[in-house]
Structure 1
Amino acid sequence: MATEDLHAISADWLKSLEIASSTGDAKSFVSHFVSDGWFRDLLCFSWDHRTLSGLGKIRGFLSEVVDGKSRLEHSSLRDFKIDDHTINAPSPFKLPGSQGIEGVQGAFTFSITNPAALGRGFFRLTQDTNGKWKALTLFTNMEDLVGYEESFADQHGLYEDRTITWEGDVDAKFRAIEADPTVLIVGGGQSGLMFAARLRRLGIRALIIEKNARIGDCWRQRYPTLTLHTPAYQSSILYSPYPTNFPKYIPKGKLANFLETYAVNQELCIWLSSTITSAPIYDSLSARWTVEVQHGDQKAILNPKHLVLATGSGSPHIPTWNGMDGFQGALYHSDYHKDAEQFRGKRVVVVGAGNASGDICQDFVAHGAAEVTLVQRSATCVTSCSFTPINTPIEELDFRSNSMPLAFSLQLTKSGGIQHVKMLDKELHDGLRKAGFNLTWELSPGSGEVGLEGFLFGRLGSGSSAFGFVPETVLDIGCGKLIIEGRVKVKQGQDISHFNKDGITFKDGSKLSADVVVLATGNEPIMKTTRALLGDEVTDRLIPPVVWGLDSEGELNQIYRPSGHPGLWFAVGPFGAARFFSKHLGLQILARELGIA
């Protein structure tokens, strides 16, 4: 299809949609969708993340009354313009899956009347049974509040008052933040840092408290061979791309150092070696928290309006089996793995079959362990780390990726979209099966194959890997080859009976002798960490009582959206989530500070 035709189809549909939107005609607006169309809205029609599927649900949402008007009339989106100036200009698309759906896709900009804001959207049009172009998916996304747009200019440089220095200016801003932070961010990992950087651009005072002595220690202190399992491009940091000479897969120490310099370069106010000493108290009258913080050797009382938990995955999940105390070898969780060299010539058993297990098995093999056996307690979803280089700016890729409703994406995968991915890894998968390694692409038997994305979004806050009762996931960076070659042996052992002094006994009576046992058994749910930090009174108010996983509409529970408790937010997840959704959480907090949410 010619570029002119793509543009004409998009322009005609968009012009008609704008008329329906600006006049508040919900019936006409919904008629622009195919019967099984999807609508994803981030903050344009409500101060939340919403996904609606089917004409009835879309119309019902847009017809709900807000301040005496329907949502559609109240928000009154208008000034629709095709975005011709980015990689997301109108183009053809074909979706994965057995249906082979194809059509025209593209981005557009618009304004929002109430609140006064700017937005950007993305459509995927396909032809209905009558040959008319209608939306298969429509995404509307708030970008900025008018008059409070995110600043991209460096606020320092030449000062009219030549007595002011950059160092002095930054120090004065830090003192103001420490005296009265609007937002207190708990956790100085990549999510907390990116969110603080976003708030700074929005003019909101944010203080980070980090329990470690240095920024980056949450990575720096992990096992020596750890590298990111996604390419540097996909793991980009907000506002600050990695240097072009960085490796494709960034080692944990290099990432830690980068985060430390990022905090300095983004001028983020951080208290290191700082922890919350008792459960914070929220006062509904003042709409502020009282938070007692141990800051080094001093205690401080802070009263932020917003408390953001950016604490990452939970504490190590360590199962208990009879006889563990009597095991005479080394026994520890994978989070505490430091030095494989000291176990050269020893027999090693690694319990678990996720990413950490694979990394640690590779480490033991490389350092001359006499024997390495991986205990696989449930089937694993394995995908190789073979990514095709992409030239699309990461911000545009984030926007396009998030324009696709998550539930619809999983539906496409179940309908056959996973087959192409499996085909690319056929040799790896065949070799793993032959070596006795169980594979799956289903979260539960018979639920449909969803692959890596489904495992990422489908987990109900269970942490970085499974506890043994749901499948685990692996982005393979070499352990698969070791398993196929027999250098890492596989033991199917979902049911461990007990430990004895020289190894593990399974319920079927089989045994594994070991000098070292590493429990690569994942981490506790984030909600468990939350309850320990905030106490029962606050945690019991969270709706739903789970962080991560998908809600009934297909949006992520709690992440960068209202938690159910005023002034409490969660900023966790992969690099891409922090890059993209930090803006949405920033806008929600800004709107509350302005009194318009």
Structure 2
Amino acid sequence: MLDRTENIAAAVENWLAQFEDALTMPDDIGLKALFHPDSYWRDVLALSWTLQTINGRDAVLKTLKAQAAQAAPSGFAIDPDRAAPRWVTRAGTSSIEAIFRFETALGRGDGILRLIPDAANGNRLKAWTLLTALEELKGFEEQLGVARPRGSAYSRDFRGPNWLDLRKIATDYTDRDPTVLVIGGGQSGLCIAARLKQLQVDTLIVDRELRIGDNWRKRYHALTLHNQVQVNHLPYMLFPPNWPTYIPKDKLANWFEAYVESMELNFWTGTEFEGGSYDENEGRWTVTLRRADGSQRTMRPRHVVLATGVSGIPSLPDIPSLKNFAGSVIHSSQYTDGEEWKGKKALVIGTGNSGHDIAQDLHSSGAEVTMVQRSSTLVVSIEPSAQLVYSPYNEGTLEDNDLIAVSMPLELARRSHALTSDKSRELDKDLLAGLERVGFKLDFGEDNTGWQFKYLTRGGGYYFNVGCSDLLIKGAIKLKQFADIDGFVADGARMNDGKIITADLIVLATGYKRQEELVRKLFGDAIEQRVGTIWGFGEAQELRNMYVRTGQPGLWFIAGGLAQCRIGSKHLALQIKAIEEGLIPRVVNSTMPETAVA
């Protein structure tokens, strides 16, 4: 086995050189010798202008050869500015992992190669996984660092508008429409707007809240992020090094305000997006915005980005008898603080993160709380179990770790998360046993793939224990199963045995409707059907309709946690820029000649 750094690097350089040569050959013989039979290729825009994952050597070679002929990739070499090639273990398999760089006809890219020995071929090192990812477009590079804009220091116009005047003109949109309209000013909206700003694409964010950051600031009083600070940076501006490991909601909300100001993002608060229609001939939307003062503004952007997150319209379960309840009924999105319920009785229906956190907050405020479980729930301790999936971010650079995250094909990511889930279950065995003793129904995700795949497939269904599970085990918070409730009466919930669980408050921690519902509400049935399913994984092994061109030209989707939005926003922004510069068609599978592939 190669174990010296120079030997590992030489093996990688040799493979990359052979790979580049083989791509230009008329047959597949050279390429076939470089890939393991059980190999994977993930391309992020670089050769395909979409996000795609190909499994198996024969399928990889067929697609790679066809797309490389159009994209003309070249200059494959180890990137000296990134982590050096090294042995790692990914998805339970030991491999040489190397970060490389390359160019295409229109862009520059980064990639990750993983080599493993092929026992059937004399242990020759062959590609197990390959990532090719577009990083920038030639001629449209971001103006960062030494390439930063010079400003007006050397050509000051003392009679003309200053920086503040120009920012006001840019933000007011009195004489123009934005090229891109972003709906939603949370992390997804800020990330895509910041990326587009650096690519010099005129972008406006609109949000119905009256203050930037209110989408976090108005959440329940005790909320903090459940993953750690090193994972959650926004593009271009890292959180200060003295920030706490787990960021409080109000601290994050205030950072959003500072971010918008520092990154010079155009943002309209108190603005409701009322809907829009698309003109196929002109390639533009006609949309209606209602401002805080009640006035309306019609705009005609070329692109609309729906950045409202996975959590859009609250999902209210159909419980006919709930109308009999005489107390207060609220959705978890309306919950703010437990102090007003001190000494009262509360039922919290739902056992995801929000349900647990709200139940714990009510209990801490002196309320008598009963949680009602509707379906099995995945539970992991906040530390270390919930953080295991982010362990690569504890070392190395953010850029390297983001690329590593992107590089894992779906099948291997599922395998990796199943291994992590096994480790979590062992670490949390006492906690889980205690929950089972009190009747809590547990699961560990589809095929044991853990909490993150629950999020990626359904947007919830799990809880990071920060104390509520312990309260359930001790009996300080009671637990009931929804199936044991016969119906609701004026005083509370009547159980199947006739007993009444009295309550003053019922909190429906029942999640949110799928994004398709919001698309239908804003754009109508035809566009919703044209787009199709959003979120979750389809046959293409990628999140459906996320960060890529959709069946509806000019309509884009971005959602997820801060890390996911930081990564996905780059991919989305590059596509919009490429469309605006005429490098790729705005319609997927257009008849436009495919010479416009980076």
Output the TM-score relative to the length of structure 2: 0.90
Q: 1:102 aligns with which of 90, 94, 101?
A: 94
Q: In angstroms, what is the RMSD of aligned CA positions?
A: 2.0
The offset of 1:513, in angstroms, is 2.6
Give the letter aligned to residue 18 of structure 2.
S
Q: Which SS does the other structure have where 1:580 is aligned? A: helix
**Cα separation, 2, equivalents of 1:396 and 1:232:** 17
Output the TM-score relative to the length of structure 1: 0.91
Q: Deviations over 1:492-548 (max 9, x none)?
A: 234643211111134576653322221111111111111111111221211xx1211
**Cα separation, 2, equivalents of 1:536 and 1:24:** 47
Aligned residues: 566
Q: 1:234 aligns with which of 231, 234, 242?
A: 231
Match of 2:592 in 1: none
Give the letter aligned to residue 142 of structure 2.
E
Q: Which SS does the other structure have where 2:258 is aligned? A: helix
Match of 2:518 in 1: 529
**Cα separation, 1, equivalents of 2:445 and 2:18:** 41
**Cα separation, 2, equivalents of 1:178 and 1:210:** 21
Match of 1:475 in 2: 464
Match of 1:593 in 2: 580
Q: Unaligned stretches of 5+ in structure 2?
A: 585-598
Q: 1:404 aligns with which of 404, 408, 414?
A: 408
Q: Unaligned stretches of 5+ in structure 1?
A: 64-69, 466-471
**Cα separation, 1, equivalents of 2:484 and 2:304:** 41
Q: Is the 8 A contact 1:117 1:144 kept in 2?
A: yes
- CA 1:233 to 1:413, structure 2 compared with 1: closer, same or farther past 3 Å? closer
Match of 1:261 in 2: 258
Q: Which SS does the other structure have where 2:530 is aligned? A: coil
Q: Is the 8 A contact 2:445 2:451 kept in 1?
A: no
Match of 2:203 in 1: 206
The offset of 1:176, in angstroms, is 6.1
Q: Is the 8 A contact 2:491 2:500 kept in 1?
A: no
Q: Which SS does the other structure have where 2:226 is aligned? A: coil
Match of 2:335 in 1: 337
Give the letter aligned to residue 473 of structure 2.
I
Give the letter aligned to residue 158 of structure 1.
A
Between 289-298 and 374-383, report the one with greater CA deviation. Answer: 289-298
Q: 1:492 aligns with which of 474, 481, 494?
A: 481
**Cα separation, 2, equivalents of 1:581 and 1:24:** 35
Q: Deviations over 1:449-471 (max 9, x none)?
A: 11112212222xxxx43xxxxxx
Q: Is the 8 A contact 1:23 1:76 kept in 2?
A: no
The offset of 1:214, in angstroms, is 0.9
Match of 1:133 in 2: 125
Match of 1:574 in 2: 561
Q: 2:163 aligns with which of 162, 166, 174?
A: 166
Q: Which SS does the other structure have where 1:248 is aligned? A: coil
Match of 1:364 in 2: 362
Question: Which structure 2 residues correspond to residues 345-360 of structure 1 after superposition, within 5 A?
Answer: 345-360=343-358
- CA 1:507 to 1:301, structure 2 compared with 1: closer, same or farther past 3 Å? same
**Cα separation, 2, equivalents of 1:440 and 1:24:** 51
Q: Deviations over 1:112-139 (max 9, x none)?
A: 12xx210100011111112011111100
The offset of 1:407, in angstroms, is 2.8
Q: Deviations over 1:387-427 (max 9, x none)?
A: 4681322222111111111232103444x453222222223
Q: Is the 8 A contact 2:46 2:134 kept in 1?
A: yes
Q: Are residue 48 (structure 1) and residue 50 (structure 2) matched? A: yes
**Cα separation, 1, equivalents of 2:173 and 2:362:** 50
Match of 2:587 in 1: none
Match of 2:444 in 1: 441
**Cα separation, 2, equivalents of 1:171 and 1:24:** 57
- CA 1:495 to 1:399, structure 2 compared with 1: closer, same or farther past 3 Å? farther
Give the letter aligned to residue 477 of structure 2.
V
The offset of 1:105, in angstroms, is 0.4
Q: Which SS does the other structure have where 1:553 is aligned? A: coil
**Cα separation, 2, equivalents of 1:515 and 1:248:** 36
Q: Is the 8 A contact 2:225 2:247 kept in 1?
A: yes
Give the letter aligned to residue 117 of structure 1.
G
Q: Which SS does the other structure have where 1:586 is aligned? A: helix
Q: Deviations over 1:262-284 (max 9, x none)?
A: 1111111112211223x312111
Q: 1:121 aligns with which of 100, 111, 118?
A: 111
Match of 2:6 in 1: 4
Match of 1:112 in 2: 104
Q: Is the 8 A contact 1:25 1:72 kept in 2?
A: no
**Cα separation, 1, equivalents of 2:233 and 2:26:** 40
- CA 1:12 to 1:177, structure 2 compared with 1: closer, same or farther past 3 Å? farther
* Percent identity of paired positions between Structure 1 and Structure 2: 36
More helix by share: 2
Question: Which structure 2 residues correspond to residues 147-546 of structure 1 after superposition, within 5 A?
Answer: 147-153=139-145, 154-155=148-149, 156=151, 158-163=153-158, 165-174=162-171, 179-277=176-274, 279-296=275-292, 297-312=294-309, 313-369=311-367, 371-386=368-383, 387=387, 390-414=394-418, 416-443=419-446, 448-459=447-458, 464-465=459-460, 472-494=461-483, 496-506=485-495, 511-542=500-531, 545-546=532-533
Q: Which SS does the other structure have where 2:229 is aligned? A: coil
Q: Which SS does the other structure have where 1:282 is aligned? A: strand
The offset of 1:346, in angstroms, is 1.9
- CA 1:187 to 1:59, structure 2 compared with 1: closer, same or farther past 3 Å? same
**Cα separation, 1, equivalents of 2:33 and 2:495:** 60
The offset of 1:442, in angstroms, is 3.0
- CA 1:4 to 1:534, structure 2 compared with 1: closer, same or farther past 3 Å? same
- CA 1:27 to 1:458, structure 2 compared with 1: closer, same or farther past 3 Å? farther
Between 489-498 and 235-244, report the one with greater CA deviation. Answer: 489-498
Q: Is the 8 A contact 1:42 1:48 kept in 2?
A: yes
Q: Is the 8 A contact 1:91 1:105 kept in 2?
A: yes
- CA 1:238 to 1:494, structure 2 compared with 1: closer, same or farther past 3 Å? farther
Give the letter aligned to residue 228 of structure 2.
P
**Cα separation, 1, equivalents of 2:208 and 2:572:** 23
Q: 1:145 aligns with which of 133, 137, 140?
A: 137
**Cα separation, 1, equivalents of 2:77 and 2:126:** 17
